[in-house]
Amino acid sequence: MAIKGRSEDLSSGRVRLGMVGGGQGAFIGSVHRLAARMDDHYSLVAGALSSQKKRAVASALELGIAKDRAYGSYEEMAAKEAARPDGIEAVSIVTPNHMHFPIAKAFLKAGIHVICDKPLTTTTKDARELVALTKKSKRIFAVTHNYAGYPMVRQARAMVAAGDLGKLRVVQVEYPQDWLTERLEASGHKQAAWRTDPKQSGAGGSVGDIGTHAHQLASFVSGLTLDSICADLTSFVKGRKLDDNVNILMRYKGGAKGMLWASQVAPGNENALRLRVYGDKGGLEWSQESPNELWHAPYGEARRLLTRAGNGADEAAGRVTRVPPGHPEGYLEGFANIYTEVAAAIRAARAGKKPDAAVYFPTVEEGLNGVAFVEAAVRSSAKGAVWVKL
């Protein structure tokens, strides 16, 4: 009932963490903080929480950050923290997409580990630069494709890898929401505004915001690599600058086929990420809104409902599990698993060791794959929804 990296043993000290973005009123920043706090592996000690100095400082003080570590800019924070003997070991980047790249670059160059929200960057060029820089700097770089943190997603991946489904044939992934059914961005809604603004979001709308999650989840669980896609992106809401509905056909290397649907204009859907994978020996189905369950259909046998920590749960799920079966874990716990795994890796790095083989978090390379996926989708759609290689 305890993940290895999740021991409450604090004898080696918490990881010193800073944050860029996430000031008062921001949503994802508070999620990152809670995720970092859940298993008690981090101390939030520094922040450049807003690009407005005053708001940045006020936000930091509220969070118990010392005044001298409440920075007005990420550049200042990277420089000063790198110079302190008790400077931060890692930074969380929770700004709009277009700022991920310069900020991550600054901290990597300052020798600080990076935990960055998705999508990694707004261009593959930038993403490739971060991959190279990560390699060169030997720092840890995690991208919070948080759905890979769910225990039953881990188990799904392990089952596919173990051959439980046989050779994969079909991947169906979808991620419908409804919160952009109307033109929310015109009403002063901050989240909607930057997500539908190409300057802050990049060239992808829904495809970047949620399509990347769907793509990462499908890739993570299936272990497959995309060969080419045919994407039909649509902007249904009048006046909207970016896509709000995403229909994609996928062809994987090795012959498997797939479909991906992402939408932010599908009334009745809250956050309905769902993955189905089929091979010649069986199928799996997982839904983010019922994350403690995983359906397994061995071909020719009755379907089984595998549950987190319950009968049928395996080691892959067990190590990222906190409470017994029937005591639901949710979004925050899954998100926290990413942070906790990163903490295990940072502690290993402190000791000059490799992390335990079971430690997993989405890497900068996976971040690059996500950006490449968005670029390919936009390119395909712009040409009339034709097949493009990844």
> Nearer to a copy of itself by C-beta: 174 or 375?
174
Q: Which of residues 60-89 bind a copy of itself (CB under 8 A)?
A: 61-64
CB of 39 vs a copy of itself, minimal distance in Å: 8
Q: Interface with a copy of itself includes 249 (CB under 8 A)?
A: yes
To which residue do tokens 């992934």 refer? 173
Cβ closer to a copy of itself: 86 or 289? 289
Residue 212 to residue 230: CA distance in whole angstroms: 15
- The minimum distance between CB 176 and a copy of itself, in angstroms, equals 8
Nearest distance from residue 101's CB to a copy of itself, in Å? 27
10 Å Cβ neighbour count for 374?
A: 30
Where would I find the beta strands (DSSP E) of 150-221? 168-176
Residue pair 60/47 in contact (Cβ under 8 Å)? The answer is yes
Closer by beta carbon to a copy of itself, 14 or else 128:
14
Q: Which of 79, 170, 349, 358 binds a copy of itself (CB under 8 A)?
A: 170
The rounded Cα 21 to chain-centroid distance in angstroms is 16
> How many other C-beta atoms lie within 10 A of the C-beta of residue 161?
13
- In terms of CB distance, is 137 or 235 closer to a copy of itself? 235
Q: How far is the CB of 126 from a copy of itself (least distance, A)?
A: 28
Under rule CB under 8 A, how many of the chain's residues touch a copy of itself? Answer: 96
What single-letter amino acid sits at 255?
G
d(CA 388, CA 390): 7
Residue 90, beta-bridge partner list: 17, 113
What gap in Å lies between CA 253 and CA 273, rounded to an integer?
A: 24
186 binding a copy of itself? (CB under 8 A): no
Query: Per CB under 8 A, which of residues 123..162 are in contact with a copy of itself?
Result: none
Residues 209-238 interacting with a copy of itself (rule: CB under 8 A): 230, 232, 234, 236
- Check: CB of residue 81 under 8 Å from CB of residue 68: no
Q: What secondary structure letter does DSSP report for 311?
A: T
To a copy of itself, the closest distance from the beta carbon of 336 in angstroms equals: 10
Q: Which listed residue (92, 245, 321, 337) binds a copy of itself by CB under 8 A?
A: 245
For 363-373, letters b (16+ CB in 10 Å) and e give: bbbbbbbbbbb
Among 82, 133, 358, 385, binds a copy of itself (CB under 8 A): 385
Q: Does 31 bind a copy of itself (CB under 8 A)?
A: yes
Site for a copy of itself in 301-360 (CB under 8 A): 301-307, 310-312, 322-333
Residue 182 C-beta: closest distance to a copy of itself, Å: 8
Q: Rounded to the nearest whole angstrom, what is the least distance from the CB of residue 50 to a copy of itself in the complex?
A: 14
CB 166 within 8 A of CB 297: no
Token pair, residue 217, equals 């989840």
19: contact with a copy of itself by CB under 8 A: no
